[in-house]
Amino acid sequence: MIKKTMQKKIAIINDLSGFGRCSLSVQIPILSAMGIQACPIPTGIFSNHTGYPDYTKKDLTGFMPEYIKKWKDLGLSFDGIYIGYLTSSSQIKIIKEFIKDFSKKDTMVILDPVMGDEGTLYSGYSKNTANALKDLLKYSAIITPNATEACFLSGVLYKEKRSIKEWCEIAEILSSEGPAKCVITGLSMGSMIGNLCYERNGKKARISIVRKKSAGRSRPGTGDVFSGIIAGDALMKKDFLSSIKKASDFVAKCIARSDELNIPVSDGVCFEEFLKIKM
């Protein structure tokens, strides 16, 4: 049995892309910088993310049970469990077993239902996996879908532009399936980008909109940066709305700096220099 420590631990179930800042390659350093031990469970390995013209990948579904069993043998448990990109629908069952075996009484489950954007599924992401993902809502305390993912999970037809009232209704549908906290990210609101914060407390809900002017070109991996910060703050018991503002500000800063440095859009955001440690 591993001795209990005061440092928070989070299991990150997500893919690893060797090039193009996204998924584990951004979330591990961000959570580490927040003082949290980040423990990865790779769902797949990609040479580079799927936004590039070509890539190769290795689905790790068959390896995950053996990998996880070694953790179980060690008697590990986690303060948080983060679920991101899945490479097959078979991983849903593995994840449900993981939650059962590795959760403590107050373990926080955060689901970022990474499946698509702009109304379509990502390249290489099957409809079977997307449908199966809905079953993880009831295990989740927090979810961080973008507009496409929120519509898909709620069964509402995707439209880029909706009223705030309509987005609130979608958030309510999602929350009714389990998660008390939901943030729908990247909403188009005229010249602004909005994040809708929905927090349910019993029969009541607090709803807030965090708006920011676009800081630059849209880039892959920003959702992973955003949800990583949300997950870290959740483990530290930070206020949900404050976390959304913090994550929004950080992503905007990273986007602006990436444009200043002429970083190719496909390479994601250069968050690294904002995590500098004085030696």
The continuous run of DSSP H or E covering 109 comes out as strand 103-111
pLDDT of residue 128: 83
Q: Tell me the two tokens of residue 153.
A: 């999970």
Q: In the prediction, which pLDDT does 144 show?
A: 98
Would you say residue 165 lies in a domain?
no
Residue 27 in domain: yes
Q: What is the pLDDT of residue 8?
A: 97
Question: How many CB atoms sit inside 10 A of residue 171's CB?
Answer: 26
Q: Is residue 232 part of a domain?
A: yes
> Residue 184 falls within a domain, yes or no?
no
Q: Are 52 and 20 in contact (CB under 8 A)?
A: yes
For the chain, residues with pLDDT lower than 70 are 1-5, 277-279
183 in any annotated domain: no
Q: Is residue 28 part of a domain?
A: yes
Domain contains 149: no
Contact 117, 146 (CB under 8 A): yes
User: Burial code of 17-53, b = ≥16 C-beta within 10 A, e = fewer?
Assistant: beebbbbbbbbbbbbebbebebbbbbbbbbebbbbbe
Structure tokens at 271: 């968050």
Position 279 scores a pLDDT of 45
Whole domain around residue 110: which residue ranges? 9-142+219-269
Number of domains present in the structure of the chain: 1
pLDDT at 3: 56
For 37, phi then psi, to 5°, come to: -75, 115
Q: Which of 74, 47, 26 is nearest to 247 (CA)?
A: 26
Alpha carbons 244 and 207: distance in angstroms, whole number: 12
What CATH number is attached to the domain comprising 109? 3.40.1190.20
pTM of the model: 0.93
Does residue 238 sit within a domain?
A: yes
Phi, psi of 141 (to 5 degrees): -90, -30
- What is the pLDDT at residue 277? 63
* 136 contacts: CB under 8 Å, gap ≥ 6: 83, 92, 95, 96, 111, 113
d(CA 276, CA 279): 9
